Amino acid sequence: MPPEGLDWLEADEQLSAGEILRVARVFVNTFGFTSVRLTGGEPTLKSGFIKIVEKLSELDVDLALTTNGTTLHRNANQLAAAGLNRINISLDTLDPVRFNEITGRDQLDTVIAGIESALAAGFDKIKLNVVAIKGVNDSEVLDFCEFGRTHGVEVRFIEFMPLDAHGQWSQQQVLPRSDILQHVATKYQFRQVHSGNAPSERYEYLDSPNHSFGIIPSVTNAFCGTCDRVRLTSDGQIRNCLFASTYLDLRNPLRSGASDEKLAKLIAGEIARKKQAHGIGAVNFVRPSKSMSQIGG
């Protein structure tokens, strides 16, 4: 986050819990969605978040959360009881000084405690999302591998994308999949395993098959051809791609009495406008006006 912070939405600009649940039902009942992920910003800070999880779990979907982990030491048990299935925790460094530099907060110990609380709460699919950046945390690849093996969580290294809040992304900062694999190979032997439609390529350690790590090569080997994700922002925008320059406003139709059938028709039209690929690196690529934390990763 930039030092000056980000613009905050007023409460009435954000979708209510009821509006979020209604849109989710349309996706599940009309389009057959089987997975819902709650992201942010930091989703656990939303008022009534546990109740939202409870209601979404009634849709019988794979319900997941992406969080910065700072609240998990307090609410991991509540989330498990509410019906949450999986947790992804964003953590870009294991070094306390670097953590403070990246986040502006001295809370690495809090995040580690949150990981331990999530494990104790019984979540069996906990992943760490690590945005790998040259010159920032590329020296920690093996540290994260060891952390994942020790704690029984899957570390996923994500290539740095042009969605940073500072707006300072450059291709030279991207730590590509090939470099990440070279780092891991200096200490561990591994083999790639099938990962289905997931964006992450998974690799299993040969000396410990129960442990694995992943790479999301979203810049150097984009998975646009198999991407089946749609994003609903906190202010009611449907985005058919993280890098979409346009969006569908669902907030106004929701608040002006549109039927579920009308909402579904609007959504289908927006998905039909999805481009073939995100175009990072192309001469005509246009960076989105919002950062990852504003869109929801």
pLDDT in tens, 233-243: 999 999 887 76
**Closest by Cα among 84, 114, 108 to 95:** 108
The neighbouring-strand residues paired with 130 are 157
202 contacts 191 by C-beta, under 8 angstroms: no
Q: Could you tell me how far CA 40 lies from the centroid of its own chain? A: 8
**Closest by Cα among 191, 103, 186, 92 to 147:** 92
Identify the pLDDT of residue 218.
Answer: 80
Phi, psi angles (nearest 5°) of residue 94: -110, 5
Identify the pLDDT of residue 247.
Answer: 84
Domain boundaries, the chain: 11-295
Identify the pLDDT of residue 138.
Answer: 94
Residue type, 115: I
Identify the pLDDT of residue 162.
Answer: 55
150 contacts 137 by C-beta, under 8 angstroms: no
**Closest by Cα among 291, 292, 295, 289 to 236:** 295
Distance CA 122, CA 116 (A): 10
The secondary structure element, H or E, covering residue 86 is strand 86-90
Q: Which residues of the chain have pLDDT under 70?
A: 1-7, 161-170, 197, 222-226, 243, 276-297
Interval 152-177: pLDDT, tens: 999 999 988 655 455 565 677 889 99
Angle, vertex CA 89, rays to CA 83 and CA 92, nearest 5: 175
DSSP-assigned letter for residue 124: S
Identify the pLDDT of residue 283.
Answer: 43
Identify the pLDDT of residue 40.
Answer: 80
Identify the pLDDT of residue 159.
Answer: 87
Identify the pLDDT of residue 164.
Answer: 45
Identify the pLDDT of residue 294.
Answer: 53
Q: How far is CA 174 from CA 5, 77, 88, in A?
A: 24, 36, 22
State which CATH number among 3.40.640.10, 3.40.50.620, 3.30.70.141, 3.20.20.70 fits the domain covering 11-295.
3.20.20.70
Q: Give residues with Cβ within 8 angstroms of 52, minimum separation 6.
A: 17, 20, 21, 38, 46
238 contacts 264 by C-beta, under 8 angstroms: no
**Closest by Cα among 244, 246, 262 to 254:** 262
